[in-house]
Amino acid sequence: MFKRIILLATIFGSMYSAKAQYMDSYVQEGEFGIGIGAAHYFGDLNTRAAINRPKFSGGIFFRKQLNNYLGLKLAANYAALGYSDVYSKNETQKRRNLSFNTNIWEASLSADFNFFKFYPGVEGYSWTPYVSLGLGVFSYDPYAYLNGQKYMLRPLGTEGQGSSLYPDRKTYGSMAMCFPLAVGVKYALNESVNLFGEIGYRFTTTDYIDDVSGTYAPDAFPPLPDGSPSVAYLLQDRSYETGTPIGIKGRQRGNSSQKDSYVIFQVGVSFNLSSYRCPKP
């Protein structure tokens, strides 16, 4: 009986030694991956942070692992965003009747922190939750439909941007900065392949992802030569479609004190980049 105990102890000791030696020699250099999922917008048309109109998102990334816990991630993401006042539970917003869609193209650099040691292929070390914080830049160009035709909103200056009547209102740009804050979890199927899920909130530096921010400026859009209203006039205040127009000059159209934001959720697969070193004696 004593010999059997010694034998079992020797076997388990050898297995632990081999595992420890593997962990000491294995170096995860990083990983690259691809994910797909959904994105959602929050802003002047979605003031209650409702998550009821998700749209497609997809992305790729490369992560350079600095040690078992810290890494740097370079990512590129696409997100379709859009919303409409018709989805609001607020009667005033429903009367306002504005809507938009836009395509987001984003590039970011983030610092990642693994909560657990992560050794793909080693039992007990094959998964970890993580958190990341970074800095990014993205492009956006909101548009809307009128009578079935698509119109880009930024060139129209729907709040009087670019009009001589409102010299202080400059046309907003097509690019802005974002600050991605994300949490996720990854699981190694084997030494080479991982599965992951991640949700990330984007704080931004713009309030015009939805083309809504300040006050109405109907006088910036004179009638056409034939006396009919211009496209810009019809899109700056669409409350005429729900009743008496509410777009009086100077009346609040959006909330300029709060920037727009968006969230991206993705699941995907990544592939490990690894190397080996001589184990410590």
pLDDT tens track for 12-65: 444 444 444 444 556 678 999 999 999 999 999 999 999 999 999 999 999 999
Query: Is pLDDT above 70 for 139?
Result: yes
| Span 181-210, average pLDDT | 97
Nearest 5 degrees, angle CA 44-CA 175-CA 32? 105
| Span 109-138, average pLDDT | 95
- CA–CA separation, 37 and 47 (whole Å): 23
Q: What does the pLDDT read at residue 11?
A: 44
- CA–CA separation, 46 and 55 (whole Å): 14
Q: What does the pLDDT read at residue 123?
A: 86
Q: Percentages helix, strand, coil for the chain, rounded to the nearest 5?
A: 15, 45, 40
Q: Alpha carbon 117 to chain centroid distance?
A: 27
Print burial letters for 5-44: b (CB count within 10 Å at least 16), e (below 16).
Answer: eeeeeeeeeeeeeeeeeeeeebebebbebebebbbbbbbb
- CA–CA separation, 272 and 194 (whole Å): 8
Report the 10 Å Cβ neighbour count for 51: 12
| Span 4-15, average pLDDT | 46
Q: What does the pLDDT read at residue 9?
A: 44
Q: What does the pLDDT read at residue 22?
A: 47
Query: Is pLDDT above 70 for 275?
Result: no
- CA–CA separation, 33 and 262 (whole Å): 22
Low-confidence winner among 83-97, 113-127, 234-248 (lowest mean pLDDT): 113-127
Q: What does the pLDDT read at residue 18?
A: 41
As a whole-number percent, the residues of the chain with pLDDT over 90 amount to 85
| Span 124-131, average pLDDT | 95
